[in-house]
Homo-oligomer: A and B are copies of this chain.
Amino acid sequence: MKKIIVFGSTGSVGQNALKVIGKNKGKFKVTGLCTNKNIKVLLSQIKEFSPSYVCVRDQAQADKIGKSLEKRIRLFKGEKGLEEFAALESDISLMAISGISCLKPLLINIKYAKRIALANKESIVAAGSLVFKEAKKFHTEILPIDSEINALFQLINISKNGKCMNGNFRKVYLTASGGALVDYTKKELANVGIKQVLAHPTWKMGKRITVDSATLVNKAFEVIETHYFFGIPFKDIGITIHKESAVHALVEFKDNTLLACIYPPDMRKPISFALHYPQRFNSGKRLDFSNSFSYSFSPINYDKYPLIEIVLGAAKRKDNGLVVLNACDEVAIDYFLGQRIKFTDIYKAMAHIYSKYPRHKVKNINDVFFWDNWARIKTKDYLNRL
């Protein structure tokens, strides 16, 4: 039985992960569950999985839940509690805390987990080098849960190990559904509301990533993940719009043959892969060849999606640019979801911060949080003046 700790168990990925684990209870034992403040869902998860350790990051909510827990369960409270919780040992840690606040527990947990199934993008975007340096140091395996990166992991593992592959690939492609606004013109974007932006056609996800899918910032982040996970130069990572979200990634070999990784969109698939690897177990739907269907591919309109170039521009600088853009993006999305700014003001904020930030190297986690905080203040200043 593999001991699993789920960080961010009440979020979209966390809940899906527990569904996968719930179907394989003979194989996995959930030893720890951690949420920010969604106590209601947490309590039902505790009932089903009987973990020994529970963490509630929000101090007030933690105090509330304390009384209702059985005595055998150890409760970790608040930020300090989360740091101690992250130092528990596990066979697999499923890391699905959202936003940059995942970075600290991740860096701690790398020392104590054998494998980390990583759903959080922001920690790789803001601190990819740091994370993988630590993982190498502590021989911790990091497996991506993000569907496109997970698909690439499958395809690239194949090409390294397969007899006929020799690692001879020349380029990789990530697919992008294009998000909820794929069929809108650039002009129409100025007036879209929250409902329209959150109506993602193929994936049900958290709110921030759904907005990031509509701006394609999410895809730029995945390019960065691809760079850090597999050491692939930015120039060899392509993006293609694929509305159906069934082809998740492709690799192109030297002889111009491509391999594609395909399945009907379902977050439980990459989660199940990352938990069972190197085995495979039945999960999600089969592709149904008894029906007619078609898959479309089209190039990205960079004029409509200017944030890709901004984010990747920052990525290539290898400075604090990604830290500040990630923070700016999160703040701007919060403002948009709070109906304080227009959708296209997210674009403006990002362009503004990108043009203004003082360039510095990011040497450690303190630098990350310094520049993250700096960008949050500057972004708020800017958006409040709009």
Chain A interface (Cβ < 8 Å from any Cβ of B): 153-155, 157-166, 168, 173, 238, 240, 247, 250, 252-263, 269, 272-273, 276-287, 289-299
Contact of A255 among B161, B253, B272 (CB under 8 A): B272
In the bound assembly, the distance between CA atoms of A157 and B286 in angstroms comes to 22
Taking CB atoms, residues of chain B closer than 8 Å to A250 are 262
Quick check: B158 and A280 within 8 Å, CB to CB? no
Using A173-B289, A240-B289 as known contacts, say yes or no to A256 and B284 having CB atoms under 8 A apart: yes
CB-CB nearest in chain B for A248: B257
Min C-beta distance of A176 to chain B, whole Å: 12
In the bound assembly, the distance between CA atoms of A257 and B164 in angstroms comes to 21
Contact of A291 among B165, B255, B285, B299 (CB under 8 A): B299
In the bound assembly, the distance between CA atoms of A299 and B238 in angstroms comes to 31
Taking CB atoms, residues of chain B closer than 8 Å to A168 are 279-280
In the bound assembly, the distance between CA atoms of A161 and B290 in angstroms comes to 30
CB-CB nearest in chain B for A153: B164
Min C-beta distance of A291 to chain B, whole Å: 7
Using A289-B299, A290-B299 as known contacts, say yes or no to A158 and B166 having CB atoms under 8 A apart: no
Quick check: A286 and B253 within 8 Å, CB to CB? no
How often does this chain occur in the complex, in copies? 2
A-B pairs with beta carbons under 8 Å apart, 25 shown: A155-B259, A158-B158, A158-B259, A160-B163, A161-B164, A250-B262, A253-B280, A254-B282, A255-B273, A255-B280, A255-B281, A255-B282, A255-B284, A257-B263, A257-B269, A258-B262, A258-B263, A259-B259, A259-B260, A260-B260, A260-B262, A292-B296, A293-B296, A293-B297, A293-B298
Quick check: A258 and B277 within 8 Å, CB to CB? no
Quick check: A298 and B292 within 8 Å, CB to CB? yes
Min C-beta distance of A271 to chain B, whole Å: 11
Min C-beta distance of A80 to chain B, whole Å: 38
Quick check: A259 and B256 within 8 Å, CB to CB? no
In the bound assembly, the distance between CA atoms of A162 and B159 in angstroms comes to 7
Using A299-B289, A299-B290 as known contacts, say yes or no to A259 and B261 having CB atoms under 8 A apart: yes
Which are the 9 A-B pairs with shortest beta-carbon distances? A292-B298, A158-B162, A255-B280, A294-B296, A258-B262, A260-B260, A161-B163, A254-B280, A162-B162
In the bound assembly, the distance between CA atoms of A253 and B164 in angstroms comes to 19
In the bound assembly, the distance between CA atoms of A279 and B286 in angstroms comes to 33
Contact of A273 among B240, B257, B272, B285 (CB under 8 A): B257
Min C-beta distance of A373 to chain B, whole Å: 39
In the bound assembly, the distance between CA atoms of A280 and B168 in angstroms comes to 7
CB-CB nearest in chain B for A280: B255
Min C-beta distance of A278 to chain B, whole Å: 5
Taking CB atoms, residues of chain B closer than 8 Å to A276 are 255
In the bound assembly, the distance between CA atoms of A238 and B257 in angstroms comes to 22
In the bound assembly, the distance between CA atoms of A154 and B165 in angstroms comes to 9
Quick check: B166 and A157 within 8 Å, CB to CB? no
Quick check: A257 and B154 within 8 Å, CB to CB? yes
Quick check: B173 and A163 within 8 Å, CB to CB? no
Contact of A161 among B162, B287, B293 (CB under 8 A): B162
Min C-beta distance of A103 to chain B, whole Å: 27
In the bound assembly, the distance between CA atoms of A295 and B240 in angstroms comes to 14
In the bound assembly, the distance between CA atoms of A327 and B359 in angstroms comes to 75
Contact of A163 among B157, B254, B256, B269 (CB under 8 A): B157
In the bound assembly, the distance between CA atoms of A296 and B295 in angstroms comes to 6
In the bound assembly, the distance between CA atoms of A253 and B155 in angstroms comes to 13
In the bound assembly, the distance between CA atoms of A254 and B159 in angstroms comes to 20
Quick check: A256 and B162 within 8 Å, CB to CB? no
If A154-B259, A260-B262 are given as contacts, then 8 extra A-B residue pairs at C-beta distance below 8 Å, sorted by A number, are A158-B159, A161-B161, A164-B280, A166-B279, A290-B299, A292-B297, A294-B294, A295-B295
